[in-house]
A and B are shown apart, each in its own frame.
Chain A
Amino acid sequence: QSVLTQPTSVSGAPGQRVTISCTGSSSNIGAGYDVHWYQQLPGTAPKLLMYGNSNRPSGVPDRFSGSKSGTSASLAITGLQAEDEADYYCQSYDSRLSGYVFGTGTKVTVL
């Protein structure tokens, strides 16, 4: 059972903006640990999409942005494209569990 909660699904038309929330607690995001985001295209391995709350690895389009506040974080996708249809996971560290934790995952659908 994940300690980071995400919406099960979000959807939007091409060109629209969608956001994915990641809600944690005082032992993970609220404790100051960074939030990272992964994109998993259908049938493939996860890929690092955002690290350190708001940093994009080389090659990730600037349509993707991240933020963190309090016990939550968010991933925004602007100018939604068909190729963005995938599962997205947040990840952080939890001091109570002394381990890494992933979010429940969000399926993004492009209408």
Chain B
Amino acid sequence: EVQLVESGGVVVQPGGSLRLSCAASGFTFDDYTMHWVRQAPGKGLEWVSLISWDGGSTNYADSVKGRFTISRDNSKNSLYLQMNSLRTEDTALYYCAKDKGSGVADTCLDYWGQGTLVTVSS
């Protein structure tokens, strides 16, 4: 059974930093591209970032480019999101999601975690 468990969400002040983690199990982690998707309270889904199976390719939404960094450790079956220069508009539930394949475009997300809540507030 595929499982994705996010952690690291807390309350942080504007301008602060945070690192989210996602522990994966139930599939061959290093065969798949992985994503972060966020959902602000009461709002829709927003794709944040992806990383290819080997970490060689990454991509970001314009709203987080230059502030967030995605990474993975295939030896630990783990995905990460380093979030710097946080803004109030980054407040959201952050989901870790598995790609259906190993590409970096034109694919879908077939398994999702339950999310971890990041609140940016003074």
Contact = CB atoms under 8 A, between A and B. Distances in A.
Given A45-B95, A99-B59, A99-B60, A57 B110 contact: yes
A98 B59 contact: yes
Interface string B71-104: 0000000000000000000000001000010000
B47 interface: yes
Nearest to B47: A100
Interface string A91-104: 11100011111111
A104 to B, nearest CB: 6
B23 to A, nearest CB: 15
B106 A46 contact: no
B47 A45 contact: no
Contacts of A46: 37, 45, 95, 109, 112
Given A47-B112, A48-B110, A99 B44 contact: no
Nearest to B60: A99
Given A46-B112, A93-B106, A104 B44 contact: yes
Contacts, number: 66
B108 A51 contact: yes
Contacts of A48: 100, 108-111
B1 interface: no
Contacts of A103: 44
Contact of B62 (A38, A87, A97, A104): A97
B112 A102 contact: no
Contacts of B60: 99
B45 A102 contact: yes
A105 B47 contact: no
Contacts of B37: 46, 102
A99 B108 contact: no
B113 interface: yes
A45 B112 contact: yes
Interface of A: 2, 33-34, 36, 38, 40, 44-48, 51-52, 57, 87, 89, 91-93, 97-105
Q: Which are the 9 A-B pairs with shortest beta-carbon distances?
A: A36-B108, A100-B47, A105-B44, A45-B112, A102-B45, A51-B108, A93-B106, A48-B110, A33-B106
